[in-house]
Amino acid sequence: CVQVCAGVCRCVQECAGVCRCVRECAGVCRCVQVCAGVCRCVQECAGVCRCVRECAGVCRCVQVCAGVCRCVQECAGVCRCVRECAGVCRCVQVCAGVCRCVQECAGVCRCVRECAGVCRCVQVCAGVCRCVQECAGVCRCVRECAGVCRCVQVCAGVCRCVQECAGVCRCVRECAGVCRCVQVCAGVCRCVQECAGVC
């Protein structure tokens, strides 16, 4: 039979071989729809009727992100929702085979990076986002030296940090198989030297 919807007579409709009634959504009559072989009703999202979507063989509803309806997305074979980062919707991403969310770094959304087969987040160094780096097979963070970000370095097979000598960042040096620091000689930074097998 016809039914009254929004003050108007509407006919019933067939959905998946069965007569289903129309539904009112946001003051307008919307028809039911088939999703994954089942009749689903439209839903209201952010004041607007949105249809359900199929994601990974399952019907998922749209969601509100930053005031806008976004559809769910498939990430690594699983439906993940978009996330809000710094007021903007960003999608999840695959890092090292796993879905990771974007993160905020220094007020900006940065993606996680892969370092030595593991996802590491970017970090703030001297007010700027720097990526972690690999040193001696291990991810080490950048360090701040004399107000400037310097990377760690390998000395004698071990990661050593740069050091400050006479107000300037100098790298450690290897002398006779051992890491020695630069030294101040006559007010100037000199590297240690080897003389007769001794530093």
Express each pLDDT in 100-124 by its tens digit.
655 655 555 565 565 556 666 566 6
Per-residue pLDDT band for 1 (boundaries 50, 70, 90) equals very low
Q: What is the pTM of this model?
A: 0.33
Calculate the average pLDDT of the chain: 60
Residue at 9 is within a domain: yes
97 and 60 both lie in a single domain: yes
56 and 74 both lie in a single domain: yes
Handedness of CA 58, 61, 62, 66 (dihedral sign): negative
Residue at 165 is within a domain: no
Determine the Cα–Cα distance for residues 171 and 188; give it in Å rounded to an integer. 15
- Whether 97 and 76 have beta carbons less than 8 Å apart is answered as yes
What's the rounded mean pLDDT across residues 18-29? Answer: 60
Helices then strands, each counted (H, E), the chain: 0, 38
The residues that bridge with 178 in the sheet, in sequence order, are 175
Number of domains forming the structure of the chain: 2
- Whether 126 and 149 have beta carbons less than 8 Å apart is answered as yes
Residue 161's nearest CA partner among 181, 185, 190, 183 is 181
Q: Domain range spanning residue 96?
A: 52-101
Single residue among 101, 121, 140 that ends a domain in this structure? 101
What's the rounded mean pLDDT across residues 91-102? Answer: 62
Express each pLDDT in 50-88 by its tens digit.
656 666 666 666 666 666 666 566 666 666 666 665 566
Q: In the block, which residue shows the tokens 């069965």? A: 18
Residue at 84 is within a domain: yes
Query: Which pLDDT does position 199 carry in this prediction?
Result: 46
pLDDT at 188 over 60: no
74 and 97 both lie in a single domain: yes
The radius of gyration computed from the CA coordinates of the chain, to the nearest angstrom, equals 31
66 and 95 both lie in a single domain: yes
